[in-house]
Structure formats: C-alpha cells, structure tokens
C-alpha cells in the first residue's frame, strides 16, 4: 500500500490512512488476560476466581493452573483443557498469565 491509500473506518466514520488502519487491526487481535498481559497459544494461565463449570457439575478453584491454552477467533475467550473437563472455554477476564 502506498501512503496515498485510505480506508473507511466504520467505527469512527472517518477515512484513515491505510498504514494506520493496518496497525490498529493488529492491535485488536491481541488477546489479553485480566491483568493486561498478552496471551499466546501454548501459554499457561491461572484462574483469578472460583468458576462454576456449566454442564460439568463442578467448580474450578481460584489458582487452578490451565496449561497449553489455544486462542480463538473471539479475543475474549480461550480454548483449554483440564484433567476432568474437555472442551473447556474460559473468558480471558477470569485468567492471569503465569510467568
């Protein structure tokens, strides 16, 4: 793209330079935990509060470590596995990245 290219930004209703829009789009795809740390595939996270798991009839306790997370298309959700629960999806607002 050249410097003269502009893209219509539906969020603001303005025409913005294409180079600026490319930077903004990449920032939106970052998945962040409750503390604002950037998450990536394969990271380990811990729960920051007790969570009742629908359909499994059990509660995951605060501090439970979840290993090898997978990012989803939704930046507010992560795919993960727990020893007793398969196909677990957690909201990023309830997890914190481990070291």
CA distance linking residue 1 with residue 17, whole number of Å: 10
Does residue 25 carry a pLDDT above 60? no
Give per-residue pLDDT as tens, 38-76.
999 999 999 999 999 888 888 999 999 999 999 999 999
pTM over 0.85: no
What pLDDT, on a 0 to 100 scale, did the predictor assign at position 75? 92
Report whether pLDDT(21) > 70.
no
% of the chain at pLDDT higher than 70: 88
Domains and CATH numbers, the chain: 1-30 (no CATH), 31-98 (2.30.30.40)
Nearest to 75 by CA among 50, 46, 38: 38
Tokens read off for 99: 């070291």
What is the full DSSP assignment across 12-61?
Answer: TTEEEEHHHHHHHHHHHT-EE-TTSPEE-TT--EEESS-EEETTTTEEEP
27 pLDDT above the threshold of 70: no
Unique residue bearing structure tokens 């509060």: 49
Min mean pLDDT across 23-27, 31-35, 75-79 is at: 23-27
């Amino acid at each position: 793209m050249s410097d003269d290219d502009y893209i219509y930004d539906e969020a603001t209703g303005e025409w913005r330079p294409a180079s600026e829009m490319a930077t903004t789009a990449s920032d939106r795809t970052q998945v962040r935990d409750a503390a604002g740390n950037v998450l990536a595939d394969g990271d380990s996270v811990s729960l920051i509060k007790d969570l009742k798991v629908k359909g499994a009839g059990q509660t995951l306790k605060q501090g439970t470590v979840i290993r090898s997370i997978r990012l989803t298309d939704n930046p507010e959700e992560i795919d993960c596995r727990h020893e007793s629960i398969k196909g677990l999806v957690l909201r990023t607002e309830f997890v914190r990245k481990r070291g």
